Amino acid sequence: MYDRIIVPIDGAERALTPLPFAASLATAWGCPLEPLHVAPSPPPTLENEPAQPPVRHVEGEDPAAALIAETRATDPPALLCMATRSRTAAGELVFGSVTARIVRNLHAPLAITGPAFRTNAGAAPLSRLMVCLDGSTTSAAIVPTARRWAQQLDLEVVLLHVAYPVGDPVTRQVTLPEETEEIAAELKRIADGCTDAGTAARWDIVEHTIPAQAIVEQAAYRGSQLIAMATHGRTGLERILAGSVTTEVLRRAPVPVLTLRPESLR
């Protein structure tokens, strides 16, 4: 599926956190792992920097543009695995400007590890992939990628939709909205398609007032080692360039998050 897996290295310890996860994918797909540093000068040597594979340095003033070019240098594109910056003092932002520009402009699968990511989680064998869908065309864009990952890595697929609780506070009766019924039918259709193709799949709809929290909790409860979801793009770096749910999931998730910003959001 991938001929190369690229991990950006910028001289910070945090940039190394995706390496175990990326290495496990490289082994599974039998492709090279390429730590890559983009800057006007070579990176400083890190105490814990892996001896193999060596970090390749690319001279350049624009890391985001260089990483996108490197990722798209092959057809199909390479897989880019990268860490996000930690939160700001205000606790608001997950993405640094480099990651934000890549999210906006790559339009290819991107594996991201957030501030809560546990390195040992990335080294664990993958067995279950949670795919988050909100009923929109944008969110469904991640499905083909998730199917390919599941088929080639022999993963079980869990399709999840988080619905806002709807019910009568007096009778406590819950009425399923029409749009939720439509989403349930779509989740079943996708799950049946995965099953027909030989991939174990199931689906569920859970109610929660905070979708990102529900996604992270469900991933832990169901033992999912990877979360997949599409990003809803915004214009302007100040807007974080992803949907607020995706951003919150990246902030909270202890496992990697596979994202995709569809071409239609150019």
Q: Is residue 147 part of a domain?
A: yes
77 pLDDT higher than 80: yes
* 155-174 mean pLDDT: 77
Provide the percentage of residues in the chain whose pLDDT is more than 70: 79
Q: Which residue has the higher pLDDT, 234 or 249?
A: 249
Q: Is residue 90 part of a domain?
A: no
pLDDT at 118: 79
Give the chain's domain count. 2
Instruction: Give yes or no: residues 38 and 166 share one domain.
Output: no
Q: Is residue 201 part of a domain?
A: yes
Instruction: Give yes or no: residues 56 and 165 share one domain.
Output: no
The domain of 27 spans 1-83
Q: Give the chain's mean pLDDT.
A: 83
Instruction: Give yes or no: residues 203 and 255 share one domain.
Output: yes
Buried b or exposed e, range 239-256, using 16+ CB within 10 angstroms: ebbbbebbbbbbbbbbbb
Cis upstream peptide for 76 (omega within 30°): yes
CATH assignment at residue 55: 3.40.50.620
Q: Is residue 31 part of a domain?
A: yes
pLDDT at 230: 92
* 187-238 tens-digit pLDDT: 999 999 999 999 999 999 998 888 999 999 999 999 999 999 998 754 433 3
pLDDT at 31: 94
Q: Coil, strand or helix: which one is 36?
A: strand
Instruction: Give yes or no: residues 78 and 140 share one domain.
Output: no
pLDDT at 48: 60
